[in-house]
Chains A and B, each alone.
Chain A
Amino acid sequence: MHAESFKMNKILLCIILLFFLSCKESNQSNLSPYQFKNYVFTNWIYSEEIKDLSFRGHLIKPVGFPFLITRIKYLNNQSNALITDCLYYKVPYKNDSGTIFIQQLKDQVDCPELPNEESKKLENIKKFVIENANHSLMFEIDQLKFSVPLFNIKGVSTHEKLKFERENKKLNGFRLINLNEGLSDKNIYIGSYNHRFSLNTAIQCRKINSQCEVIGEDRCEQCRFGFYQVIDYNCPQGGSRFCGISHCGEKNEPACIRGSITKVDDNDGICNDGLIPVRDKNNILICQ
């Protein structure tokens, strides 16, 4: 009897052990091909910036370690900020199959050289092809082929007399917005309606120095009421810029741009009658 109960206990123990062994750790970062497609499609259709593909077409080298293919910035679920994904690929080599990694940047400024442990992974890849063409990102992963339309990526605009602007986008004048979590109520633009250059209240959103270098960040896209350019160092990329509505030509405001050929000299600009352009302490041409 004692032997029998001991035998039963052993069986029970084995069953319990089996039970725990079957509890495979569910690894959140391992994706199936369809999960990968779903992630890429539902997020990257909102791409606003894609860094040039460092490798394109059928990727077969370098082998041995994951390398960065591209960096994608796309709208978050309220379209009030951009999320950055880094796409990596480890090429298959001999018995080692390929792996695609997607790492979402949290605090890092730029994509690290190698993906971290929290990256999403698609493993057991034999063939991976990627192309960025015709306003789409095209993927071929073994048997799975799909493309992600890129509505928000624009190239250089073309301008033609008597015509509207052509943005060189998938659909001219169209932008896909992600509002899966509704609109935010957080203020993201800077500047106030009554900010004026002449009152020293205008926010300088871009600063250029005498060597035509941009000092600090260019944040003119964040200006709530647009921005205007001033005449300071006659640089090829234009001058310094300030947030707000332009009052160029008025007293103590920047001079308006007269042009490139018609200006009399580098100190020429358009001012109201009775005012003349002079340089201020920051070399900005103002009307006094």
Chain B
Amino acid sequence: MKNYKRRLIISALFAVIMIVIVAYMATYFMPKVSKSDKNIQEISDLEELLQNSSEIHRVWWEGEDSKEWGEVKENCLKKWNIKSDFDESLMRCNPKLIQCVSEFSKNKKLKIENDPVLVGKSNSTIINLDEGGYLFTIKHSKTGRMINFILKNFCHEKYLEPRIYAYGEIPKKISEDFQFDNLEQDIYFDSHLVLNFELEDFLKATNSFSGDYHSEDWFLPAGKVKLETMEKYCNFHGKELMSAEIFDAATFLPNEMENKKPDVVLRSPYFWSKKTKENLDNCNLIFSSECLATNKYKTNFVNPTWAGLFDSMGTYMEAFRNPIEPDNNLKASSFYLSRNSKWHRLGKRSHWSGEGNDLRHFFVNELELNPSIDEIKVGFRCMRRVLK
């Protein structure tokens, strides 16, 4: 009996040990096979997401030329409550387009997970941000895996040709002309004025949004911004407020296009002409007060200059930083002034306090404004110097 019990215990122990060994060997070998499958799945998820992000990048750059804009345009305009025309090239590098396409397009590859977030060095902990951009998130429809990417807003920047330029209106004595050059600097400037939706995104990103903007005004220039906010906006994007002499460089038409190092920088007061006197009744050249009677202003109404800068004469007044004559920080040529006004000349600047839009912030006596005007919109744009 005792023997039998002993044998039973030993057999039971033996059986347990064998089961443990077999189970251990099984778990040791099996995971290699399932881990390999998991590796393949993980990479194929990622590859699909990268492909989708590449598609979103395509739409970002194609903008109004993308087939998706054609597909969703009507729905987008309805959603944004936009009833009037606008320059659809503003759809390039535009997060509103990507959001709208995500919502209305049949192409599931273009779905984004959240609203895109504007990121810059001053509001983000992402390393090497440079100019920042919009942060997007996309999600794999089956596995839920997500990836993130940033798209920069490059589309509307223009490179200023390295040349010799000069500041302000051409003086009576040419020896007093102030020349400067960017032959060893790379400079980019915004081709259009900063828009309302861009300012709104910046204010949201810096927790300063007060909810005043309406989507129907999104694609018009921001016109009620303090100078300090303009500087902060540009800086957030890795840029600086447009400098007066660079604005002059981008607007005065070079007298000899091929000669980038002229001894004398001859220039005319009008961006489209080399003549000193011109007919000023074309609203695509100067959008003066008369133009408001027959046209609804829209961004980029005034033709681009030789360098690609829009709305250089008439339209909104525009603020600059002026390192040469700091008080002359305002382009007064605008739709507040009649086409005969002396202010419709390149290089001719007035002053703005930068603190607000009512008349006490301007030199109204020299502007000769219509008495019905009680407020002046001032637009702005940015520029950047590429420092390697």
Interface residues of A (CB under 8 A from B): 1, 4-5, 8, 11-12, 15-16, 18-19, 22-24, 26, 32, 34-35, 37-38, 41-42, 45, 48, 75, 78-82, 149, 151, 157, 159-165, 171-179, 183-189, 193, 220-221, 223-229, 237-238, 241, 245-246, 248-250, 256-262, 270-273
Q: Within B1-57, which residues are at the interface with A (CB < 8 Å)?
A: 3, 6-7, 10, 13-14, 17-18, 20-21, 24-25, 28, 32, 35-36, 39-40, 42-43, 46, 50, 53-54, 57
Given contacts A80-B125, A249-B323, whether A270 and B159 have CB atoms under 8 Å apart is no
The reply to whether A164 and B155 form a contact with Cβ atoms under 8 Å apart is yes
* Distance A221 CA – B152 CA, assembled complex (angstroms): 17
Looking at B81-89, B142-150, B289-297, the stretch in contact with chain A turns out to be B142-150
Given contacts A165-B154, A177-B148, A256-B323, whether A183 and B125 have CB atoms under 8 Å apart is yes
Which listed residue (B36, B182, B188, B385) contacts A34, Cβ 8 A?
A: B36
Looking at B69-77, B126-134, B213-221, B269-277, the stretch in contact with chain A turns out to be B126-134
Contact flags B226-253 to A (C-beta < 8 A → 1, else 0): 0000011001001110000100000000
Which of chain B's residues have a CB closer than 8 A to the CB of A272?
Answer: 323-326
Known pairs A42-B43, A176-B50, A262-B164. 13 more at Cβ < 8 A? A12-B13, A12-B17, A15-B18, A23-B24, A32-B32, A38-B42, A48-B128, A162-B307, A165-B188, A176-B53, A188-B127, A223-B121, A259-B185
The reply to whether A260 and B184 form a contact with Cβ atoms under 8 Å apart is yes
> Within the complex, what minimum Cβ distance (angstroms) separates B347 from chain A?
15
Main secondary structure of the interface of A (DSSP, over half): loop
Which listed residue (A149, A241, A256) contacts B50, Cβ 8 A?
A: A149
Which of chain B's residues have a CB closer than 8 A to the CB of A224?
Answer: 121-122
Given contacts A161-B307, A164-B159, whether A15 and B181 have CB atoms under 8 Å apart is no
The reply to whether B121 and A8 form a contact with Cβ atoms under 8 Å apart is no
The answer to the question of B174 belonging to the interface, with a C-beta cut-off of 8 Å to chain A, is: no
The reply to whether A273 and B325 form a contact with Cβ atoms under 8 Å apart is yes
* Distance A189 CA – B40 CA, assembled complex (angstroms): 38
Most chain A C-beta atoms within 10 Å of own C-beta, residue among B39, B147, B308: B39
Listed by A's residue number, 10 A-B pairs whose Cβ atoms lie within 8 Å are: A15-B17, A41-B46, A80-B126, A161-B307, A171-B57, A177-B150, A178-B148, A179-B137, A185-B125, A260-B181
